[in-house]
Structure 1
């Protein structure tokens, strides 16, 4: 049995939210959210705690009913066809759900048995998944001895037992160290390369930038921006050309050269650094030539582009590290 996920046939979205609304009493957690995710791509649902990300995922995965609106997963309506939706998706929540008293191999076999996978197929599949997620060396250790990153990888492996075409990941790297986070990113890239469609919620701007083909920014239950990582960053302003000269005495002549681009130049004397807005690589190459021809030695030259954090701050007036709790999550 292959662990390769398949994509939704045709041009229809693999995941689609249609005017989703969720209220808890007088509180509106999600307010008219709509988006579509093409097959074999990654959507990053970005926002702070309290934005409505988890509530949106719970509605799309049939864990909670929308107050109004609907969603479609792999072509099936979450309200009218919840069983079909569940058969065509996987879900990894914020907390690993594997049994800590069982080994990694036993966890996979137990969940596989619940899926009704034949024992012969399950033996082969468990080996493939353990290898795919770099857990073969720990397959027969109890899960409570695993690191946080290993538990998350096992949780993902279990969610792929039925080879779902669509996978929902709700803040999958929360609490992981940088190395474990990077390792999990590589696993997710491999799944997408095999055809899986991912919806990823995250507070980590770098994570969305690394993994997502398209990003939906949500704040206080509403979508406030949508686009590719590059498109969103371009909204936050132009790139900056940053030059660090080797000698403080060269700051003024270097400033005069940068000013020839027509941009205002900011000079940080202590750091021997000059900064000016730029249109891109052409400006950097041109300025580098001018500096070389003028005999000015530089320690560093490069482009600094706006980050997704800059985008979020511009859109909302606050960072994604808002400490409020998510309503209804």
Structure 2
């Protein structure tokens, strides 16, 4: 990258694929958190933050509206994302009320390479820049969330107290997460909420299923909230996933969601009826050429069995550790 600062679109696409898949993998491989990933630490005297790893300090405040642009880092040759305020982008920002907020971990590998253009959602970009059909702002939320969860897992594994600054960062992230709105425009008519076409409609439902799945992931793995409080989000994930399936079956739409959000929401489900609906959904999902995901399905069934029998470890991470599994939810 030092010798070729201008990468081809194919090379950029490969970087995006790798980064996103690594992020998905990191979200479940919580027993493999490395010490160098940890930004917030407790010392005997006080809590210290490594500004070197943060890239810049984050205090939870909202940054001026703007956009993210890709740059080549002159020091290491890597593509990185920098936030440019509106004044530096000639006023070219996304026309949406949702302000772009600076990522908390701006120097982290998995925030690199994502689609950052301020374009309306069009069918021709779905297979190029936006490879996974997710808005850039949601991918950044996902990246921050995975970092928070991995920090939490590291503290627990190593019997460390949680730094005060990290708690503040988590609460600020929580506000960002719960107030998020997609920057893409999915509608031909905003008043009637008429979708641009069936493909865009499927992308919308995929996006929203991932968003609600991310809420479940954060509150179960980052805040350790009881599943009973998350059932409304579980049902929202299921409904959006079912709508994507319906569109793929009735309108031959070539959009398939990730299994990640279905797995996370399914494992959090406490209702036998809803669990059966997730079982039916994943059965249909695996018939569309995306693989059987047999281990993930068996793991989800084991979570339900333990929960039904009031066994300990009735969550996907505990079963993963007990079975010695490495989840691949691509």
> What TM-score does the superposition give when structure 1 sets the normalisation length?
0.26
**Richer in strand (by share):** 1
Flag the structure with more relative contact order, 1 or 2, with Cα contacts below 8 A and sequence separation at least 6.
1
